[in-house]
Structure 1
Amino acid sequence: MGRLRIGRSGVVEIVGLLLLGVFLAATSAFDSEEIPTVPRYLYWIAALVGGGVIAALIEPWIAARLPGRPRLFALAQLVAMTPPITLWITVLPMCLWGDPFRIERLYWTMPSVVTVNVAVIGLAWVVRQAFKPKTAPAVDGAPPPAIRAKLAPRLARARLIAIEAEDHYLRIHTDAGSELVLMRFGDALDALTAADGFRTHRSWWVARTAVETARWKGGRGELVLSTGAVAPVSRTYAAALKGTDWAAPVMADG
């Protein structure tokens, strides 16, 4: 059951909506005291859980278009979920006890739906923060967050060895293996500004502590890394790297 998900919502959030529905029924919220007890509970539970399912189906589409912008995402989610949930609340009495559909109900129902939706979005945020998986601390020399987020957990926790550009992808070399990710080399270099390493070639970045052997020939070079991989050193970067004190930390050349 813990693996059951609707969009980005899990069982805990659905249970939270069910309990909120019970609370609203028990308090006869929004002047619902005229509805008999059993139908009132059915109404509020169906309203909250059904509305939650609608919101959960909409949420991934919005999240994909507004990454890293939580406030704008919450506002967009509220705007997108309110009309279909209002329609659901309007037809619910017709489904539960045969109340005739009246179009004007859409207008006077919407303010109440907005109020509950704000509470539901807040509830979802609280639940997700409470049940957010604890992130294992990164090891010394691990990839920076922007790169780590694209890697499998085993590699994200490993020590970064090198980054190699392959067309529109990057091959991230770590001491636990390598992985091909979709990312621009320039964006990776920006993320590596404070890392202990340097650019060696137009398509390579190397961690300083990963270098085992440096070989030079004809103005170019090669760096043999701790994984056995060999990183090329172009003429552009060779002169600066030849004078590198490999035992001392250096800043990345972005």
Structure 2
Amino acid sequence: MASALKDTAKTLGIVTLLAAGFTWFGVYGTGGSVWLRFVMWFITMLVGSVASYWVVPFVFHTNLKTAHPALRILVASLLLAVPVTLTLCIFLAVLGAPLSLRSLPLQFGYVLAVCLVVTTGGFLFDRARRLAELEDAEPEDRVAGFLQRLPVKYRGADIWAISSEDHYLRVHTDRGEELILMRLADAVRELGEDNGLQTHRSWWVSHQGVADTRRTNGKLFLILKSGRKAPVSRTYQSSVRAAGLA
């Protein structure tokens, strides 16, 4: 309850500051009193904020959670721009500065540009916050958090390795394999050094995922419990040996 109230207060504070800024700079040069223009911007910004409570989970956590971040940001911004533009049009009409149908697409473009900036900023801030929280998280909590990216059947699974395939990662677990859209560098940072280590530019291996080691034509491989072979490049051989995996 306290957390919800804190989030609401923060949202209202941001909306108030933005509304005050737009009023001060006289955006659109609308008529009416200062307070009337402030109410217009406050409600317009509030509509966008309230809409984001539905749009953000709908796009980022449900329907497009595996899509590229750029696509998710674009779709979320488009959805947010619709109610914001409609609200703005209503207020401009009340203030005696109605938008013509010809100028409506241009206005939507302006609102979309603002939504893109705000949504991108929110996405980057949220990712930075999650990474900061992971710095103090226990190893098992890091794994549990990472598994939230996968379908429900993988929750509670043991991660054996992660391999890079183009823009995707193949997550190897004791319950099977799954592809997710993510960079290997971000996955390694999220899982932390206590859970495993990178063995190759395209492989990360968990300490508990190794069943054996093997050399083929002078090249070192870690044999996962699934039977797959994870390569170990020269760059990472010393750290693999130091971890007792070879």
TM-score under structure 2 length normalisation: 0.52
Secondary structure in 1 aligned to 2:133?
Answer: coil
Q: What do residues 169-215 of structure 1 show as CA deviations (whole Å, max 9, x unaligned)?
A: 56558xxxxxxxx9943349xx9752223467xxxxxxxxxxxxxxx
Equivalent in the alignment of 1:17: 15
Q: Return the letter of the residue paired with 1:3.
A: S
Alignment map for 1:41-120 (pairs within 5 Å): 41-63=38-60, 64-67=62-65, 69-93=68-92, 97=94, 104=101, 106-107=104-105, 109-120=107-118
Indicate the residue corresponding to 1:186 in structure 2: 177
Q: What are structure 1's unaligned runs of at least 5 residues? A: 152-167, 174-181, 201-232, 237-247
Partners of 2:2 and 2:125 lie apart in 1 by 14
From the superposition, tell whether residues 148 and 124 of structure 1 become closer, same or farther in structure 2 (CA, over 3 Å).
closer
1: CA distance, partners of 2:137 / 2:3: 26
Q: List alignment gaps of at least 5 residues for structure 2.
A: 159-172, 180-186, 188-195, 197-203, 212-224, 228-242
| Code of the aligned partner of 1:196 | H
Contact 1:43 / 1:92 at 8 angstroms: preserved in 2?
Answer: yes
Deviation of the 1:79 alpha carbon: 1.7
Residue type matched to 1:41 in 2?
F
Contact kept, 8 Å, 1:78 with 1:117, in 2: the verdict is yes
Mapped contact 1:170–1:185 kept (Cα < 8 A)? no
1:59/1:183 CA distance change after superposition, 3 Å: farther
User: Is this contact kept in 1: 2:144–2:156, CA < 8 A?
Assistant: no
TM norm structure 1: 0.51
> Which secondary structure state, in structure 2, belongs to the residue aligned with residue 113 of structure 1?
helix
Greater fraction of residues in helix: 2
Helix, strand or coil at the partner of 1:35: coil
The CA distance in 1 between the partners of 2:116 and 2:43, in whole Å, is: 18
Whether the aligned pair in 2 keeps the contact of 1:86 and 1:113 (CA below 8 Å) is: yes
SS for the counterpart of 1:135 is helix
Root-mean-square deviation (CA), in Å?
4.4
Partner of 2:3, secondary structure, is coil
% identical equivalent positions: 15
Q: Which amino acid aligns with 2:71?
A: L
Q: Does residue 196 of structure 2 align to residue 196 of structure 1? A: no
Q: Max radius of gyration: which structure? A: 1
Give 1:88 deviation, angstroms: 1.9
Specify the alignment match of 1:220 in structure 2: none
- Residues paired across the two proteins, number: 176
